[in-house]
Amino acid sequence: MSAVVNPEGVLAGRVAVVTGASRGIGAAIARRLAMEGAKVVVSARTVEPGQHRLAGSISETVAQIRDAGGEAHAIRCDLALPEDRKRLIEQTTERYGPATILVNNAAVTYYFPVTEFPEKRYQLMMEVQVRAPFELSAMVVPGMAEAGKGHIVYISSGAARHPQKPYRRRAGGTVYGMAKAAVERFSTGMASEVYEQNIAVNAISPGLVRTPGTELHGLVNEQTQARQSPVEAIAEAVRFIAASEPKEITGRVDNIQSFMKEFELKPVELIG
């Protein structure tokens, strides 16, 4: 049976914002949430095909959702810019009403050793991967509190874990891991702050997923097959969290494989 949109699904009436939704994990999450009836705002810098060296754009993600009978809207947003972050939430509210689901997925990543890391690129990674999720999460809380429930999900990475001996030569991933670790701690801390407002905050660590970005960096190969998870698994985990009671699943940082096993989840076919 082909994937379809269920307008009366478990997320009917909810408004979701998914950052980094032009391709890969973000696009998959946007499609999965739409399949359950959510109105989805997809955001990224790449609006139309051909604007980025990697395949995928938010206009294509929106088209996939609408063609299947779902509701979606694209908003271009450069998360490195405070004014764009503010505009994303404002325009979402104007279009659909307050967001009650926020998926902080967008990332920009550079690999340099610490002693060679360019200041400009360091600042950009901190803005997009740390400051942006911090501000977006703060901005959606009032609307979630008014609605009586909300879910914030951060897409993290196994890079947040501390390296263990015996050390091996790494391709300059220290800053990336630092950024991911920062927001995992932010997620658990914020979960404690908004618990009584019935807002859940969680982080999912996807492991290695075949996406245009991971293929570009040469991370997907025969040696890494055992660590790979399908993009549909991450989308299903986020769907499950967003459909849960906020106080039942919150303040967690989970590896995707263990999360899927714990809740007996299976990846499902996506629209598009």
Cβ contacts of residue 118 below 8 Å, gap of 6+?
Answer: 110, 112
Residues recognised as catalytic: 156-157, 176, 180
Domains of the chain and any CATH numbers: 15-262 (3.40.50.720)
What's the distance, CA 121 to chain centroid?
21
SS (H, E, C) the chain: CCCCCCCCCCCCCCEEEEECCCCHHHHHHHHHHHHCCCEEEEEECCCCCCCCCCCCCHHHHHHHHHHCCCEEEEEECCCCCHHHHHHHHHHHHHHHCCCCEEEECCCCCCCCCHHHCCHHHHHHHHHHHHHHHHHHHHHHHHHHHHHCCEEEEEECCHHHCCCCCCCCCCCCCHHHHHHHHHHHHHHHHHHHHHHHHCEEEEEEECCEECCHHHHHCCCCCHHHHHHEECHHHHHHHHHHHHHCCCCCCCCCEEEHHHHHHHCCCCCCCCCC
What is the CB neighbour count within 10 angstroms for residue 12? 12
**For every one of its 272 residues, what pLDDT tens digit does the chain have, with 9 covering 90 and above?**
579 999 999 999 999 999 999 999 999 999 999 999 999 999 999 899 766 667 689 999 999 999 999 999 999 999 999 999 999 999 999 999 999 999 999 999 999 999 999 999 999 999 999 999 999 999 999 999 999 999 999 999 988 999 888 887 667 899 999 999 999 999 999 999 999 999 999 999 997 666 555 555 455 555 555 556 789 999 999 999 999 999 999 999 999 999 999 999 999 999 98
pTM for the whole thing? Answer: 0.93
The pLDDT of residue 226:
55
Cβ contacts of residue 60 below 8 Å, gap of 6+?
Answer: 22, 27, 49
The pLDDT of residue 49:
75
Q: CB-hemisphere CA count at 13 Å for 13?
A: 6
